[in-house]
Amino acid sequence: MSLKSKIESLFFISTKPLTSKKISEIAKVGEEEAEKAILELKQKYDNEDKGIKLMKIGRSYQMTTSPDSARIVKDFIKDEQTGELTKAALETLTIIAYRGPITKADLDMIRGVNCALILRNLMIKGLVEAHEDKVKMAIFYDTSFDFMKFLGITERKELPDFEALMKDENLEKLLHPEKQKEEIMFSEQPKTEEEK
């Protein structure tokens, strides 16, 4: 797969603008090489009659819909905002409600599928919010104030069976296999005379 194809995929799944520096880190290439590929990609979208454009906003880039598609996109978003949630969207929202804040990688692992489009739809509906943790260098997803307001609750722990589902042992094993290894290694260590 070419660098341009990789970058195009990143722009497609990203819910926020990306800088050439960030892309170079993810793609493991030099920043100049990343910038060159981005500009070539932008030129391709600018020169062709496409429903998608690559916009430059300051030092960042983001994939957006073409201004010519504004009407149809507006109608679709209105329908998405008012339409019912699919089973997949409800599952994803439930996981975020009980396990949030949670990364997309952990969501994908729990559901066994890529949740990028579902997350985007939940954010469009105002049920989920994304927050960047600069220390952990990751984006975390959590339920929004509107979600809590819609359910008529003020705290997450008011959700049904919150304590039990938040600390589900099987999910802990899936998301944190390293803890299981540590526990096994610790239990297998020979006991000292005092412990005997």
Report pLDDT digits (tens) over 130-140.
988 888 888 99
Rounded percentage of the chain residues whose pLDDT exceeds 70 = 80
pLDDT in tens, 20-72: 999 999 999 999 999 999 999 988 888 777 788 888 888 889 888 877 777 78
Q: What is the mean pLDDT of residues 83-102?
A: 86
Does the pLDDT value for residue 163 go beyond 60? Answer: yes
Cα gap 58→62, rounded to integer Å: 11
Least Cα distance to 115 among 92, 147, 134 occurs for 92
* Per-residue model confidence (pLDDT) at position 109: 87
Cα gap 162→169, rounded to integer Å: 14
106, 131, 138 from 134: Cα distances, Å: 18, 9, 7
3-state secondary structure of 187: helix
User: Looking at the domain covering 3-68, what would its CATH class be?
Assistant: mainly alpha
Does the pLDDT value for residue 16 go beyond 60? Answer: yes
Cα gap 102→141, rounded to integer Å: 5
* Per-residue model confidence (pLDDT) at position 184: 45
126: left (phi over 0), alpha (psi -120 to 50) or beta: left
* Per-residue model confidence (pLDDT) at position 29: 92
User: Using N-to-C axis directions, what is the helix angle for 31-47 and 20-27, rounded to 10°?
Assistant: 110
Do the two domains 3-68 and 84-182 of this chain adopt the same fold? Answer: yes
Cα gap 185→193, rounded to integer Å: 19
Does the pLDDT value for residue 170 go beyond 80? Answer: no
Q: How many CB atoms lie within 10 A of CB 178?
A: 8
* Per-residue model confidence (pLDDT) at position 145: 86
* Per-residue model confidence (pLDDT) at position 133: 84
Q: What is the mean pLDDT of residues 66-85?
A: 71
Rounded percentage of the chain residues whose pLDDT exceeds 90 = 16
Where are the chain's structural domains? 3-68, 84-182
Cα gap 17→174, rounded to integer Å: 31
The model's confidence at residue 196, banded by pLDDT at 50, 70 and 90, is very low
Q: How many CB atoms lie within 10 A of CB 55?
A: 13
Residue with tokens 């990609």: 41
- Of 85-89, 98-102, 143-147, 164-168, least confident by mean pLDDT is 164-168
CATH architecture of 84-182: Orthogonal Bundle (1.10)
Cα gap 139→168, rounded to integer Å: 23
Buried b (16+ CB within 10 A) or exposed e, 96-127: bbbbbbbbbebbeebeeeebeebbbbbeebeb
Does the pLDDT value for residue 114 go beyond 80? Answer: yes
